[in-house]
Chains A and B, each alone.
Chain A
């Protein structure tokens, strides 16, 4: 991957972590829901991204958020799990399985429906381990499940906004 792309990903990484830690961590929707938008970084990686890069960047991303939120490896664990499921999810929801090398998931290239399904599924796959790890028990299962669903919806709303902003491929 060329230097310019690496730089772009690094900037995106920093921006998303900052946005999460400075803005989104202070939103208390409905009193207790916290949107997690940093996952957008993993969602925006090219479809044919190298497996190592996918997993490692997800791990580092989660670990960085953990460092700010004092949550040990919880976000790292959830984000790596989501990254692991990403290729399977993409295969599942794509009608055609041949993408041009280097395509990035986006509304312009795959269409709104695809992006919505993609984002929703992966966000759920991220939030489910995250919330269950945080609670670390199976009692109160349904209340945890409702928290997961509501948080996922909130994260999804902001992530979708993020997709709209990514817009044309020509944007830096």
Chain B
């Protein structure tokens, strides 16, 4: 026994290295199972507080750009006011059903205070948390595209799984042709994504617009995603795989909107009855 201790003591450098390396790898392994590693979570008060301060300084550099973007957002939002929704079918003075005008989605503005675009699994951090009503699995968008889905929430911050994540999958629709497909990110360039499962009979053209389909309740319908850059039929498949130029510059994310589905609980409860 004493010989063993002596052996370890003489080679302490190697064993200390081994011990620390194992701890580090355990930490990595735990995180890969999506367990809440509270200590290392950047929603943690220390890192979050720090990023907030840094962001307060650097955000002044973006003010002009933010103003221009806000002006464009205003324009887009103004186009969504009631006059744009008038149903031409109801010209007669019938009683308007209120359900036609009920709001389905609410938007909460937030700032991105941490972001990454160069890894296979990218996440971002926003400055709103549970005290603002953020919950996991809420969608995050800007008028120029889908940003991602909320992952974890602390009291004042939340982390978001970016669209730029190898497991990300968004239900999207071609604007003109109306066909549905899936949008994924295959890594590498943060300005490009890939749309899969477009039936091969669809007439695609470079520049065709891609929007969210609205089939998933996480994202509202018709959020602009990007345009088709190129497309091909991969060997052994029966559908197009298209490269998409994303309209949203993920490297310059500043203001985003978190999407709340106000009717989600109702739809969930109803669909739960399907299997009964």
Chain A residues with CB under 8 Å of chain B are: 22, 28, 31-34, 51-52, 55-56, 58-59, 62-63, 66-74, 76-77, 80-81, 83-84, 87, 133-136
Docked Cα-Cα span, A80 to B30, in Å, equals: 19
Interface centre among A68, A70, A73, A136 (most CB of B within 10 A): A70
A58 to B19, CA, bound (A): 13
- Given A67-B46, A73-B23, A73-B24: A80 in contact with B17 (beta carbons within 8 A): yes
Given A28-B117, A76-B27, A134-B120; A70-B41 close (CB under 8 Å): yes
CB of B24 within 8 A of CB of A80, answer yes
Is B17's CB under 8 angstroms from A34's CB?
no
Q: How far is the CA of A70 from the CA of B47 in the complex (A)?
A: 10
Residue in A closest to B117 when the chains form the complex, CB atoms: A28
The residue from A62, A67, A73 contacting B42, defined by CB atoms under 8 A apart: A67
21 A-B contact pairs sorted by A residue (CB < 8 Å): A28-B118, A51-B12, A56-B16, A59-B24, A63-B24, A67-B39, A67-B42, A69-B116, A70-B42, A70-B159, A72-B40, A73-B24, A73-B25, A73-B28, A73-B31, A74-B28, A77-B24, A80-B21, A80-B24, A84-B21, A134-B120
Residues of A within 8 A of B42 (CB): 67-70
| Chain B residue contacts of A70, Cβ below 8 A | 40-42, 114, 116, 123, 125, 159
B13 within 8 A of A: yes
A-B contact count (CB 8 A): 95
Q: How far is the CB of A85 from chain B (nearest CB, A)?
A: 9
| Total interface residues in chain B, CB < 8 Å | 40
Whether the Cβ atoms of A72 and B30 lie closer than 8 Å is: yes
Contact surface of B with A, Cβ cutoff 8 Å: 12-14, 16-17, 20-21, 23-28, 30-32, 37, 39-42, 44, 46-47, 50-51, 54, 114, 116-120, 123, 125, 159, 188-190, 251
State the majority secondary structure of interface residues on A.
helix
For the complex formed, measure the closest distance between the CB of A74 and the CB atoms of chain B, giving whole angstroms. Answer: 6
Bound form: Cα–Cα A170–B28 in Å: 41
Residues on the B chain within 8 Å of A22, using CB: 54
Chain B residues within 8 Å of A71, by CB: 31
> In the complex, what distance in Å separates the CA atom of A83 from the CA atom of B251?
33
Q: Are A55 and B40 in contact (CB under 8 A)?
A: no
Q: Complex: how many Å from CA A74 to CA B159?
A: 19
User: How far in angstroms is the closest Cβ of chain A from B39?
Assistant: 8
Q: With A31-B189, A52-B16, A77-B21 given, is the CB distance from A67 to B40 under 8 Å? A: yes
CA distance A29 to B54 in the complex (A): 21
> Which 4 pairs from chain A and chain B are nearest by CB?
A73-B27, A72-B31, A77-B24, A73-B24
Please give me the residue from chain A that is nearest to B27 by CB atom: A73
Minimal Cβ-Cβ distance residue in A for B43 = A70
Distance in angstroms between the alpha carbons of A81 and B27 in the assembled complex: 15
Bound CA span A66–B251, Å: 21
Whether B16 and A77, one on each chain, are in contact in the complex, defined by CB atoms closer than 8 angstroms, is no
The answer to whether B17 and A84 touch across the interface, beta carbons within 8 angstroms, is yes
Nearest CB of A to B224, in Å: 24
Q: Do B40 and A56 have beta carbons less than 8 Å apart?
A: no
B27 lies within 8 A of A72 (CB):
yes
Q: How far does the alpha carbon of A146 sit from the alpha carbon of B4 in the complex, in Å?
A: 43
